[in-house]
Amino acid sequence: MDDTTKEDGSGSSRKAVRKEKRSYIFRKWTWIDVMKASSVGTVHLLCVLAPFNFEWEALLFGVILAIMSALTITFSYHRNLAHRRFKLPKWLEYSFAYSALFALQGHPIDWVSTHRFHHQFTDSDRDPHSPIEGFWFSHVFWVFDSSYIREKMLTLFGQVA
């Protein structure tokens, strides 16, 4: 993909404007971004140490946790909360939403609002995890850049970040 985007990001303008490349690593990190990156980094560090402390019970726990996290993100955050595809009793809805926190993808309100915003502006400059920013940003780095997401949402409502 090239680094050009439409003037307003909506696809309504014919003139392409060259977009300045953003720095993903060497930028001003907010406290919450540092905490997110630290927690994900800690989990990955512990996974590197796992072969030296192997136990079948721990492997089983890890597999169950991975499956539960993936299913609750898909089932709860995505299908139930973001798209409202079905109705659950509140106690069950909250149970699924809190179990999805094990996936380390943030609070349900943040995840749902970002996802709805993403669907509203898919693959445009206003998309919070647009492929216009590059493969790694659209899949991973956007999670650790809350100021970028805030900037995108403020732009939508006509306020300058």
pLDDT in tens, 132-151: 888 888 888 888 888 888 88
**Digit-coded pLDDT (tens) for 70-120:** 999 999 999 999 999 999 999 999 999 999 888 888 889 888 988 998 888
Task: Answer whether residue 134 is part of any domain.
Answer: yes
Residue 56 neighbours by CB under 8 Å, 6+ apart: none
* Cα distance between residue 161 and residue 158, in whole Å: 9
Does residue 43 form part of some domain? yes
pLDDT for 146:
84
Is 73 contained in some domain?
A: yes
In this prediction, residue 50 has a pLDDT band, given cuts at 50, 70 and 90, of confident
Count how many domains the chain has: 1
Please say if the pLDDT value at position 10 is more than 80: no
Q: Residue 20: inside a domain, yes or no? A: no
Domain membership flag for residue 46: yes
Asked if residue 14 is part of any domain, the answer here is no
pLDDT computed for residue 157 by the predictor: 66
6 is a domain residue: no
Mean pLDDT (the chain, rounded): 82
Q: Which domain holds residue 60?
A: 29-156
Give the pTM. 0.70
Q: What is the DSSP string of 56-72?
A: HHHHHHHHHHHHHHHHH
Q: Please state, for a pLDDT cut of 70, what percent of the chain lies above it.
A: 83
